[in-house]
Amino acid sequence: MFAKPQAEHTWLDQLLGDWSFDHDCQMPDGNTSTASGKMTCRSLGGLWLVCESSGDAPDSGPWSSIMTLGFDPAKDQYVGTFVGSMMANLWLYQGALDATGKRLVLETLGPSFDGGGTCNYRDTIEITDADHWRMTSELQTGTGEWVRFMTGKHARG
């Protein structure tokens, strides 16, 4: 019953530690916002990465979130979740590393910004170097186009 970490789990270890971040958002409706804060990522048995973030957004105040990431060998894909104090839905991730091995592309389904149903989202974690990584968030429009709405820069420390 006890699973053993695999190479895919070890990839997530690059994110372990304490991080500071700045997020810039350009929403599809043209509104912009920024957020900054701290993130702590820890391992749960070498199989799961648990990242707890908190910060302050100038327009909406303090917030916090929790992201979990792991690898499911039975599904042969990365899986995870995201919840935040600023929203009422649970985001379920599934994804894979790209060909470079430096980008983890996670897909999910969530409420559309216009309040009219759901749409596809894509969050990408890109390792820049041992002390920096970037997360981008995109949504898929009704025409199938992917539109980036958030870029987050993370630095160790």
User: How far is Cα 74 from Cα 95, in angstroms, rounded to an integer?
Assistant: 13
User: How far is Cα 35 from Cα 102, in angstroms, rounded to an integer?
Assistant: 25
User: For the segment 10-62, what is each residue's pLDDT rounded down to a tens digit?
Assistant: 999 999 999 999 999 998 788 888 889 999 999 999 999 999 999 987 777 89
Domain boundaries, given as residue ranges, for the chain: 7-156
The pLDDT score that the predictor gives to residue 92 is 98
Domain 7-156: homologous superfamily in CATH = Calycin beta-barrel core domain (2.40.128.20)
User: How far is Cα 12 from Cα 35, in angstroms, rounded to an integer?
Assistant: 24
The pLDDT score that the predictor gives to residue 34 is 87
User: For the segment 75-128, what is each residue's pLDDT rounded down to a tens digit?
Assistant: 999 999 999 998 899 999 999 999 999 999 999 999 987 778 899 999 999 999
User: How far is Cα 115 from Cα 30, in angstroms, rounded to an integer?
Assistant: 16
